[in-house]
Chain A
Amino acid sequence: MGADPLGAQSIGSRLMEFLGDLAKWFVENWDGSGGYLQRTWEHLQVSGASLIAAAVIAVPLGAWFGHTGRGGFVVVSLVNVGRALPSFGIVALALPLTIWLAKTVPFISSGLGFLPTFAALFALALPPIFTNTYAGVQGVDPEIVEAARGMGITETQVLREVEIPMASPVILTGLRLSAVAVVATAPLGALVAYGGLGRFIIDGFAIQDDVQIVAGALLVALLSVLTEVAFTWSERWFVPSPLRRTAESKDLVLRPVV
């Protein structure tokens, strides 16, 4: 397990050997069942599904609360609870819930694997999307909203055509924070018998295989960084051009570490 720096071999040659094993691992384990292509796909499936489900619920809710200006206390408590609840605990708590669901609901065949992972990631993704959407919509300049109303458009139109586009950089930041948190937490799904890239780390811990552990960690880290980059890039498609690059400063305040 731990390297012994005073061993017969020098640290340099041990490192070279390790890197060689690592390269070999990446060549040998890419395809087939349990290969890292399949694991990456599983990882993306559960992450994508939970993020989309969370966005479908949290964006309209956040926009509506932000539009009416009500429910500020909900936002504050969501932020606080979201920060204090450990992601590991959320994943673990999802398990008894989904096992109970599988027992009660006839068409759910298994309470293990995808379902608890999905439920946990969904719960994890909700707060950043909801709070950012709320803050974004609520923070739209009231004069702009008044001007829109003065032009005689309906409240729904105000929300859809003025407030949401104006708030889009902040909403997208919320989606990005959630997406990165989800991709970074999905490895814990391996603990509730899901696949995904976490399998390599968790199984590597169990069989004390350092090469597999580091390979899994590299893949998880890479996927997180790529998610971050992809969402930063997507700004150019979703945000009207004069509003781009204004949401950066919000990052540190709301971002969960997982």
Chain B
Amino acid sequence: MILAQTNDAFFRWDWVFSHLDDIWAKVLEHLVLTGIALGFGLAISLVLAIIGLRFPKAYPPITWVTGIFYTIPSLALFAFLVPITGFSVLSAEIGLVSYTLLILIRNIVAGIDGVDPAVREAAIGMGYGRRRLFLEIELPLAMPVIIAGLRIAAVTTVGLVTITALIGQGGVGFFILSGLNRFFNTEIILGTGLSVIIAVVLDSALVILQWALTPWARSRSAVV
């Protein structure tokens, strides 16, 4: 690698250090965009998963529709939204949320389906109603599978946020686009690197969350 100090340096740390404020702002924007997408995605998925569990006939159409969202390339989905909602956070979030749905719904349903029927029977025998059974027994026991889905959704969303730079958002994806337009390697590497770091940090945070939420599982198995 060439260690020149002029413009043709491969990665210019001096540029990074003189733009720390901008970088921090974009990292925050990235986290906010990701957080909103995951929050809404999780809420919508929970509702749809509960509907799918209560009415098994509704489950195939739910996975079918969310599966179509999942198949549409993200750039195309954002492009469909632009004439309606413009270059806006709303366009970005509608796209980002729709990509989380299939993963989250399938994992929530799989997690709850995977609860040992004997445990369910025991709870019903102890007089648990449907709501308490769901909130206090099924949901906590399904937590590892749900969080596994959330981890995939989180890492995927962090990557997709970079593409929203093309519709005026983007978080650290802003640097990737700007670097491409100016042929400036530093920005491209910085944007991509930060996106990877954010994904890894968020993924680790979810692992810790799972550890905190499932105290009963600690003694039996190591944290994956």
* A-B contact list, 18 entries, CB within 8 Å: A1-B87, A18-B83, A81-B196, A84-B200, A85-B195, A86-B158, A86-B163, A86-B173, A90-B192, A95-B183, A96-B183, A185-B73, A188-B75, A214-B80, A216-B79, A217-B76, A252-B106, A257-B99
Complex Cα–Cα for A75 and B188 (A): 26
B residues near A205, Cβ cutoff 8 Å: 79, 82, 166-167
Task: Tell me how many residue pairs across A and B have CB atoms closer than 8 Å.
Answer: 142
Q: Which of A192-225 contact B (CB under 8 A)?
A: 192, 198, 201-202, 204-205, 210, 213-214, 216-218, 220-221, 224-225
Q: Which of B174-211 contact A (CB under 8 A)?
A: 176-177, 179-180, 183, 185, 188-189, 191-192, 195-196, 199-200, 203
Residue tally, chain B, CB below 8 Å to A? 49
B76, A85: Cβ atoms closer than 8 Å: no
A2, B159: Cβ atoms closer than 8 Å: no
Complex Cα–Cα for A201 and B188 (A): 21
B70, A257: Cβ atoms closer than 8 Å: yes
Known: A93-B189, A187-B76. A84 touches B159 (CB 8 A): yes
- State the Cβ distance, A12 to closest chain B Cβ, in Å: 14
**Residue of chain B at shortest CB distance from A181:** B73
**Residue of chain A at shortest CB distance from B81:** A217
Q: Which A residues are closer than 8 A to B by beta carbons?
A: 1-3, 18, 81, 83-90, 92-93, 95-96, 99, 180, 183-185, 187-188, 191-192, 198, 201-202, 204-205, 210, 213-214, 216-218, 220-221, 224-225, 228, 252, 256-258
Q: Which of B52-75 contact A (CB under 8 A)?
A: 70-75
Q: Is there a chain A Cβ closer than 8 Å to B140's Cβ?
A: no
A221, B192: Cβ atoms closer than 8 Å: no
From the candidates A89, A187, A228, name the one contacting B75 in the complex (CB within 8 A). A187
- State the Cβ distance, B67 to closest chain A Cβ, in Å: 10
A residues near B5, Cβ cutoff 8 Å: none
Known: A187-B73, A187-B75, A198-B75. A85 touches B192 (CB 8 A): yes
B residues near A214, Cβ cutoff 8 Å: 79-80, 83
B188, A93: Cβ atoms closer than 8 Å: yes
A89, B83: Cβ atoms closer than 8 Å: no
B residues near A221, Cβ cutoff 8 Å: 72-73, 76-77
Complex Cα–Cα for A216 and B80 (A): 9
**Residue of chain B at shortest CB distance from A223:** B73
B residues near A3, Cβ cutoff 8 Å: 83-84
B residues near A191, Cβ cutoff 8 Å: 177, 180
